[in-house]
Structure 1
Amino acid sequence: MKMRTAAMVAATTSLAFTLAACSGSSDNGDGSNTPAPESSSTTSDSAMAEVAGEITVLTNRTDLVDTVFADYKSTFEAKYPDVEVKFEAITDYEGEVATRMSTDDYGDVLLIPNSVNASDYPDFFEPLGSVDELSQTYRFIGSEANFDGQSYGIAITGNANGLVYNKKVWADAGVTADPTTPEEFQKDLQMISDNTDATPLYTNYADGWPLTQWESDRGGVTANANAVNELADTDAPWSEGMDHYIIDSLIFDAAAAGNIEEDPTTTNWEQSKTDLGTGKIGAMALGSWAIVQMQEAADDAADIGYMPFPNQVDGTFHSVISGDYKNGINVHSENKAAARAWIDWFADESGYATDQGGISPRLDGPTPDTLKDFDAAGVEYIELTPPPAGQESLVSDIDNAAEIGLWSPDYRQRIVDAARGARDETKQDIFDDLNSKWAEARASVEG
């Protein structure tokens, strides 16, 4: 096992504290094995001879570890009889794994925590190959989990972004079409409030991580594939017409109108799935990974729909597609060939993405039926433009210096609290403060 320098240990410890402050989860549904394309594993022939030993795979899928993942284990071990796979299912995945990453003990294969800076990838994860090489086979390689031309993770599935909703609730409220503007969306929420017993928009405030799902809409809101990179070029992301202004205004306005949970501090993620599925909730902002879960919880799976973020550009809806968690290899693993074999098999042969209603990480993978509502609405998909070379972590560096936490729930909990009267701030007060922090941090990071 590699020995780390004192500087690396210090950097690791610092990162762990940063990640622990951004605790989250990404529970993604149920599924079963389905046929997949023929494997195009990039594990070399020489490495294949070393595919042996015990590997520990960390997962956030507490709901699947004893069922679907047990089947994966049997199938994989039949192909690689010299490998034994063990799983660790972690409820507070981001928080616990962040703490463990201050040591060498964070599994052999793990889902790369969302808050790890790209510049830190080489310290924690084994490179899987060049971006140019892997992007010939897999989606999301050029824009995610890479640094200095090397890829460190392969997505377990891909997601579109929007709102999962109960079609029956919206129809009972008198809504007949997807809202095309934030203003129409607010009117629709009010119709649900006035004409049904459902909570129009459920924030899942108490669990926290669902509030971070709104961040995935940036770029899709304004049909701008370069939206994230442009955060490094502006002092005021919360200005009218920009992604964060539109997203966070929608959240604030819904909460201010009383069209969210009566007491957001008591929300419950697991219960919310049943409540949306049975018509007690109108909509939730979640990636497309959530559709299958809501269908399973519904009285009638046909009641579950998926709508794009309510904003059109030139008469068209847009949605950012991106990879979900990325499987990576612990740089300290003693069985890296076996770990790599698992990652390749999971992406190429497990069928996980299809089972979860997600977009296959493979370029030649199937299109999920779960996005048929998007097809009907004419949604155009966007993949975000990768950051320029040498600037892979620039936006996250600014965000860290500003102490905002774009991917943490805190600042959007602040927005909800202010809107419902639990904080003495207006929407503009919050936006002015966020812009000030961003500008100051940008000046300090960029010089």
Structure 2
Amino acid sequence: MGKTKTLTGALLTVTMLTVAGCGGGGGTPGETAAAPTDPGGVSGEIKVLTHRTDLVQNGAMKRYTAEFNKIYPRVKVTFEGITDYEGEVKIRMNTKAYGDVLMIPAVVAKNDYPKFFAPLGTKAELSRLYRFSDKTEVGGKVYGIAQFGTANGFVHNKALWKKAGVTQWPKTPQEFTAALETVADKTGAVPYYTNFKDGWPLVQWSSNIGSVTCDAKATDKLSGPVSPWKAGGELHTIDALLHDIVKRGLSEKDPSTTNWETSKNLLGKGKIGAMMLGSWAITQMREAAQEAGGSPDDIGFLPFPAQRDGKFCATLVSDYQQAVSIHSGNKPAARAWIDWFTGKSGYPATEGAVPALKSAPMPATLKEFVDNDVTFVERSEAETGTVNAIDNAAELGLNKPDYRQKLIDIARGAQQGTLQDYFDDLDKRWNEAARTAGS
């Protein structure tokens, strides 16, 4: 998987549950992990838990630490890369031993953050500096700072599309499927690849909520019996497009045999036209294109095919949020690491990701979006807790692959039913759950 671990937080932005049996507590309640003002006065040792096992193993984290120590020479940083990050850290959080700095596991309910993490400052203070600060805000205090964010769209092989004569970005779902049909007719390539078997890429479609209407509060507006899949709704537009792609035979013939690692090479070679992914994937696809004998410039990024007032929009979502354990005995050093890694390490730019620091420029990977005035919409997380509760009670899984796998099976005739019947059922389950879980 390697670099694919970078996307985990983005995929799990709205899948927070309660940690069963986690007691939390034990630290000093409300003690702020304040940003130190004198680097020379910060000392001691901290442990950083990370899901990026690849960066620990290849020495990248050591190189980051060497740069950090040029500013904070008296701080010793050690890393622990954890393969099953979510599963293992969830267990550790039943104790006090879960590092000094950690990525907030998605399993921790937002309202429980004060039990486990030290506040980093007020929302008023940190929202001026960082994107995504409302994702970890509880009671006016912020408990995590994002490593980076990601924009959503379609990674596509521009060279292949150009060969088919498609050079303009599709502005509507109908134009998008027409473009895929042209790619199929003119090149013989598979126009779209679902990554059905691996599953998690299907979750990326949910990250388009907000892109369709250019509404930062689009996810918040799901917090009630609102029939999300009704005609004109964002999820109706998003999921109908996926359904139509498959129903028209514009995706791989046998979804049950897809393979993520293989798909990167196929897209790089021009055997696949496009895939719905976050902007984190652009770098990987460009590397795959080069390895396949092509050019990194063959790979482009398309916004979701919808416009508002003549402009495209792209939702920005947060990756994992970095937090300081409430039990840390060295909160100044832990906070120093988070601030440095977020704002001065160059890590977001290396990953081709959207920087959490508002003053930093957008990455080169999003140059096409910037040059074409795509509006970046930072998704509000104000009602995430309620939306999660409804989603869980309805047993749908907006950020799980299952319901879209069924959508694809309906589209290809592997399951009985119509798209409208499926949407009606989803709305019914959502609304019934909203009347109880969301109240």
- TM-score by length of structure 2 reads 0.85
1:211 aligns with 2:202: yes
Do the aligned residues in 2 keep the contact of 1:129 with 1:151 (CA within 8 Å)?
yes
What pairs up with 1:48-447 in 2 under 5 angstroms? 49=41, 51-60=43-52, 62=54, 65-114=57-106, 116-141=108-133, 143-298=134-289, 299-387=294-382, 391=383, 393-447=385-439
Do the aligned residues in 2 keep the contact of 1:15 with 1:116 (CA within 8 Å)?
no
Secondary structure of 1:57's aligned partner: strand
**d(CA) in 2 for partners of 1:330, 1:155:** 15
Do the aligned residues in 2 keep the contact of 1:55 with 1:335 (CA within 8 Å)?
no
**d(CA) in 2 for partners of 1:111, 1:268:** 28
After superposition, the CA RMSD in angstroms is: 2.6
Q: Which residue identity does 2:299 align to in structure 1?
A: I
Q: Deviations over 1:200-249 (max 9, x none)?
A: 11222222222111111101111222211111144300011111111111
Q: Which residue identity does 1:253 align to in structure 2?
A: D
Q: Deviations over 1:80-135 (max 9, x none)?
A: 34433333334454444445445544433222234543212223322211111111
Do the aligned residues in 2 keep the contact of 1:160 with 1:322 (CA within 8 Å)?
yes
Compared CA separation, residues 274 and 236, structure 1 to 2 (3 A):
same
Secondary structure of 2:399's aligned partner: coil
Secondary structure of 1:321's aligned partner: strand
**d(CA) in 1 for partners of 2:118, 2:259:** 36
Q: Deviations over 1:121-170 (max 9, x none)?
A: 223322211111111221221x3222221111111122221111110111
Unmatched runs of 5 consecutive residues or more in structure 1: 1-9, 17-40
Q: Deviations over 1:180-202 (max 9, x none)?
A: 11111111112222222422112
**d(CA) in 1 for partners of 2:22, 2:424:** 28
User: What is residue 27 of structure 2 aligned with on the other side?
Assistant: none
Select between 232-241 and 177-186 the one with higher mean Cα deviation: 232-241
**d(CA) in 2 for partners of 1:163, 1:15:** 39
**d(CA) in 2 for partners of 1:181, 1:246:** 10
Cα offset, 1:356, TM superposition? 1.9
Q: Deviations over 1:380-431 (max 9, x none)?
A: 22223452xxx55111111121121211222222212222222223222221
Compared CA separation, residues 410 and 51, structure 1 to 2 (3 A):
farther
**d(CA) in 1 for partners of 2:94, 2:189:** 44
**d(CA) in 1 for partners of 2:97, 2:202:** 30
**d(CA) in 2 for partners of 1:177, 1:95:** 44
Cα offset, 1:70, TM superposition? 2.6
**d(CA) in 1 for partners of 2:169, 2:281:** 19
Select between 101-110 and 372-381 the one with higher mean Cα deviation: 101-110
**d(CA) in 2 for partners of 1:167, 1:195:** 14
Compared CA separation, residues 396 and 345, structure 1 to 2 (3 A):
same
Cα offset, 1:255, TM superposition? 1.6
Cα offset, 1:330, TM superposition? 2.9
Secondary structure of 2:204's aligned partner: helix
**d(CA) in 2 for partners of 1:416, 1:392:** 27
**d(CA) in 2 for partners of 1:166, 1:305:** 6
Q: Which residue identity does 2:274 align to in structure 1?
A: A
User: What is residue 20 of structure 2 aligned with on the other side?
Assistant: 13
Do the aligned residues in 1 keep the contact of 2:47 with 2:80 (CA within 8 Å)?
no
Select between 427-436 and 391-400 the one with higher mean Cα deviation: 391-400
Fraction of identical pairs, as percent: 46
Select between 44-53 and 239-248 the one with higher mean Cα deviation: 44-53
**d(CA) in 1 for partners of 2:37, 2:369:** 42
Secondary structure of 1:158's aligned partner: strand
Do the aligned residues in 2 keep the contact of 1:117 with 1:396 (CA within 8 Å)?
no
Q: Which residue identity does 2:328 align to in structure 1?
A: S
Do the aligned residues in 1 keep the contact of 2:324 with 2:331 (CA within 8 Å)?
yes
Secondary structure of 2:80's aligned partner: strand
Do the aligned residues in 1 keep the contact of 2:200 with 2:401 (CA within 8 Å)?
yes
* Moved >6 Å (runs of 4+): none
Secondary structure of 1:415's aligned partner: helix
Cα offset, 1:295, TM superposition? 1.4
Q: Which residue identity does 1:201 align to in structure 2?
A: Y
Q: Which residue identity does 1:245 align to in structure 2?
A: H
**d(CA) in 2 for partners of 1:171, 1:91:** 40
Do the aligned residues in 2 keep the contact of 1:223 with 1:318 (CA within 8 Å)?
yes
**d(CA) in 1 for partners of 2:366, 2:225:** 34
**d(CA) in 2 for partners of 1:78, 1:204:** 43
Select between 224-233 and 302-311 the one with higher mean Cα deviation: 224-233
Do the aligned residues in 2 keep the contact of 1:163 with 1:307 (CA within 8 Å)?
yes
Q: Which residue identity does 2:80 align to in structure 1?
A: E
Secondary structure of 1:259's aligned partner: coil
Secondary structure of 2:435's aligned partner: helix
Cα offset, 1:329, TM superposition? 2.3
Compared CA separation, residues 90 and 256, structure 1 to 2 (3 A):
farther
Aligned length: 410
Q: Which residue identity does 2:212 align to in structure 1?
A: V
Unmatched runs of 5 consecutive residues or more in structure 2: 1-16, 24-32
